[in-house]
Amino acid sequence: MFEFFYKRPYFIVAMVLLMSFTGIVGLSTLPKNLFPDAERPTVVVITQSPGMTAKVAASSVSKPIEEEVARLGKIRTVSSINLANFSIVKAEFEYAKSLDGAAVDVSNAIATAKSKLPEGVNPTVYVTGSFTAPVEVISISPKDETLSLVDVRKIADSFIKPKLLSTKGVGNVEVFGGHQSALTIKVDSIKVVNNGLDMGTLAKTIASIDKDMPMGFIKNQDGVTTFTYYGEKSSVKSLNGLKIAPNVTLGDIATVAWSEVENMSVFLGNGKEGIALSVQRSPGGSVLETSKATRGQIELLQKEYPKLSFEIVDTQRDLIETANTNMLEALRDAIIFTLFVLLFFLGNLKAIAAAAISIPLVFLGTIGVIWLGGGELNIVIYTAVILALGMLVDDAVVVLENIERHLVELHENLEQSVFKGTQEVVMPVFAGTIATIVMIAPLMFVGDFPQTIYRPLISTLIIALIISYVLSITLVPKFSAYLYRNGVNKNRFEVMFEKIYENSLGRAIIPYESVLKFSNTGRTILRKIVLFLGVILLLIFSVKGVMPLIGKDAMPPMDTGIIKAKVAFSVNSKVEEVQAKMKPFFVWLNGQNFVKTSSTAFGGEAGVLSIGSGNLPTEVSMTILCKNRFERDQTIWQIEDAIRAKLNALDGVKSVDVYDFGATANSSIKAALDVRMTASVPDALYENSKKVTKTLLHVRGLTSVTPSWLDDLFEVEVVIDQNKALSYGLSPMGIVSQIPIRGEIVAVSGNLASMNNQPVRLYLSGSFQEHLVSLQNLPIMSNGGLIPLGAVAELKGNFTPSKIERDGLLYSLDVNGYRSKRAISHITDDADSALKSLQLGDITITQQGDIVQLNDSSARMLRAIGIGTALLFVSLMAIYGSAVMSLVMILVLPLSLIGAAWGMLIFDKPSCMPSMLGILLLFGIIIKNSILLMDFYRTKRQTHPPFESALESMKVRFRPVMMTAFGTIAGMLPIAFEWAVGLERLSPLADVAIGGLLVGTILTLIYVPLLAYSTDRNKKER
């Protein structure tokens, strides 16, 4: 390969230009997001079940759907949230299942379950994922009193939403905030019965008359003629005139008017009530492109609707733009630091020039390949490029340094030096590249979450390594011929740096010589045992002593400046009452200088997944955007403490959970600590959850503990005396159908050309709707004439669950614990110890929080490390033709774990998925240094005895090995010190690599030569 390119310089120029072009295009056009999409394919089934309690919705709606969905292939979990009037079933599939395929399978399962569902219940299927999260949340409110929020809601539903949906780049738009309008029919029950009607018959009559009905068509000699009955009434006047019975119109027995549906949801943007538009991207779409398109359309809408105020109150754009800018700055700093390290070690501006041209080309070439492959840019991709810097520079410098050795030491001419110098190192550079790739590549195939989240990083690293290798044996030799055209003499500046190195770190070679000589004098076996035993004991202490102190996490905590809060009040309150109780908090919040915007949802709405999904009307969900951490003094966890204290001080508050965005490894995990209680019936779950909640409150590191549902909704049970009912010729269904208190939709008005369809709802009028006692006097039509409801039924009040959850086809209740920064392994261990003493009968308790993802991912990543090590051994044996030599290079890898453990302790980071990835990367770098040492040992061994060859390999390769280690460390400093928003997620990777490289490099320079000459089968006399 080297000779092919060396003889074709214009081919090299063309390759470099192509890399540069594709890289520049990719950098400017690739979609930009914060992290790769890592959510599993998820399908949500929402079913409106008017009049049903949570318990009834769970048993009669959710359960049949769950049972059918659970049979599907590649299903991971099936769960449901059941509220009064709603059922929400969630089906999560394995990554191998496509989102479209999952949606089709669930739709088919619902079709099968349809026969088991109550009459009139119609489930709706939605797909969800990372793309469901709002890219922008826009709060729309009237500028003056000429418009009400009901008017704003109509405009948002009918005009603004369709406008945004037609905008390129926008995937979906959801409208939220209550204030939905409807044509309401308030029925006077006395007039109904006086006209010989009953409520059940009335509802059916309206539903059957107020409807357009296609009748069919006739085909004759004149053509085809269609027949249609237009019965739908779209105005108050026409509905009032609707014939209900002979000589009886609807207006005779009811009041028809446009009004507002009773609010079960409210939205506040920056503390001010409005109607929310949640704009989402398409699956795989770019957040920034969607945001740009949305904001452009909003500017036009502001001109079209001058009486409306449009305010962005939640956005992903600021975080992603800040993170991308920070990462480019971190990349710049990493390059500067790396080049400075090269200058320190080499005192050679020619090497700096070679590295300075290699780094941008590798970066652009890598971005170009990602662009051609249809990828995206995010923190993970930038991190991969930064991590690769030390290794990239190493390839170029190894080639350049060897060319210079041929010029200075072997006194060859420039052409010979370039050709022979490059040819000599092609194999070790290739072996180092292959070794690093086979070490990290298995992580791309371990499956599930770690594969999904880290495959982009590993693939980017591999691309960068391959490009670096290609450039080091193609461009660098040709470029070096230009650099050395005037000889190898150094100027004063270069000489100065060379002296600095020789008088500082260069002197460290003396202790290394002493250790190796110590191992080969006197009682050599005993001395080697001491050296090996000492380092093994240090390794055991570091792994067994230090690692338990730092704990484990799936993913480390992250300060993105986004705070989430959930607040719950008494479920028997009205949403307007909760809104009033929250007002003092918003007055305080809007006065804080760390706040940029806030978005608050009270309750939830059917079909809206991105705002308030699964909330009761008295539950509040907040998203607070703070200034990024470089622009404020407090950490996000200090701000959370202040917010938590203010919310807990509110009147009537029942629970408060405040946590940072990304508090769990992925969004399907409810909380960092999730103690799930399951049973075949729901009755005992709530009472026992009190014991679990009380126990977990004492676990150190938790900021709040909250059960997922309570048994606190006041319910009125209509107890029908069947004997009395039968004596009046009534059935239970005949009685219930005459009590229209649920706002039943009896028709849909859709003739208004400029509006969406409006529901027509049926209510009782007067005191019957307002007072429970009056309802007992509601007149019921029977065979014996008019009777009060109380004659055949008794109204009993009791408490029932306001919400019921199911998981794995069982009833479940999650006791969720939120934390700030304490390691989840420590929290879970303490929780398990505390819960052991509880007696909960037939209830099963399992941990379902971050610890589940941590254990699964750790097992997969450990497997990847094992497979990578095995592949590495096979690859090295194939390249060098020696099992012993390969084993020597691999045996030193575990020694770097000493530094890795202490690195995490010093940087105060837990062992987590990024840190395990750091170990893989660390092994890849250490093995590259081992190859440099062993390759020289093998060459020297052809003419010298083992110990002398080992000693010489350490002395000759000391500088390049140290330079590679410190160059890589320098490049990782911006990641380790988290110089970009979001890098907290990946900084443990750098912490492990830095600590491991510092210690691992020191030990590699000792133990590789020591093992090499100790295991040499063809030993000569010392």
Q: Which residues contact 501 (CB under 8 A, 6 or more apart)?
A: 344, 345, 346, 347, 959
User: Of all helices (H) and strands (E), which one includes residue 475?
Assistant: helix 448-483
pTM for the predicted model, two decimal places: 0.84
* Distance (Å, whole) CA 445 – CA 138: 41
Write down all domains in the chain, each with its CATH number in brackets.
40-128 (3.30.70.1430), 347-486 (1.20.1640.10), 498-557+850-1021 (1.20.1640.10)
Window from 651-655, 704-708, 875-879 with minimum mean pLDDT: 875-879
Upper half-sphere CA count for residue 178 (Cβ side, 13 Å): 22
Structure tokens at 336: 């500067």
For residue range 738-757, list pLDDT tens digits in order: 676 544 444 434 333 333 44
For residue range 186-232, list pLDDT tens digits in order: 777 777 777 777 666 676 666 665 454 454 555 555 555 454 444 44
Judged on CB neighbours under 10 Å (0-12, 13-18, 19+), 490 is: middle
For residue range 791-825, list pLDDT tens digits in order: 888 877 777 788 899 999 999 999 999 998 899 99
For residue range 21-57, list pLDDT tens digits in order: 999 999 888 888 888 888 899 999 999 887 788 888 9
Is residue 1020 within 8 A of residue 941, CB to CB? The reply is: no
Evaluate the CA torsion angle 717, 722, 726, 732 in order and state its sign: positive
CA proximity to 614, closest of 670, 535, 536: 670
C-alpha distance from residue 456 to each of 178, 289, 381, 643 (Å): 41, 21, 7, 36
Q: Which residues contact 539 (CB under 8 A, 6 or more apart)?
A: 894, 895, 897, 898
Q: Which pLDDT belongs to residue 8?
A: 82
Q: Which pLDDT belongs to residue 765?
A: 55
* Distance (Å, whole) CA 181 – CA 824: 47
Beta strands in 111-197 (DSSP E): 124-128, 136-142, 172-176, 181-187
> What integer is the mean pLDDT of 520-545?
90
C-alpha distance from residue 138 to each of 311, 317, 602, 622, 959 (Å): 5, 13, 16, 14, 58
* Residue whose structure tokens are 């009534």: 730
- Per the prediction, the chain carries an average pLDDT of 85
Looking at the DSSP bridge assignments, the partners of residue 79 are 90, 807
CA proximity to 457, closest of 523, 546, 378, 358: 378
* SS3 label, residue 560: coil
Evaluate the CA torsion angle 191, 196, 198, 199 in order and state its sign: negative
* Distance (Å, whole) CA 46 – CA 173: 17
Read off the amino acid at residue 693: T
For residue range 765-788, list pLDDT tens digits in order: 555 555 566 677 777 777 777 788
Residue 177 main-chain phi, psi, to 5 deg: 135, 15
* Distance (Å, whole) CA 471 – CA 396: 8
Q: Which pLDDT belongs to residue 481?
A: 83
Q: Which pLDDT belongs to residue 232?
A: 47
Higher pLDDT, residue 90 or 960: 90
Residue 593 main-chain phi, psi, to 5 deg: -75, -10
Is residue 743 within 8 A of residue 763, CB to CB? The reply is: yes
Start-to-end C-alpha separation, the chain? 41
For residue range 645-671, list pLDDT tens digits in order: 999 999 999 999 999 988 788 888 899
* Distance (Å, whole) CA 228 – CA 215: 5
Q: Which pLDDT belongs to residue 754?
A: 36
Q: Which pLDDT belongs to residue 758?
A: 45
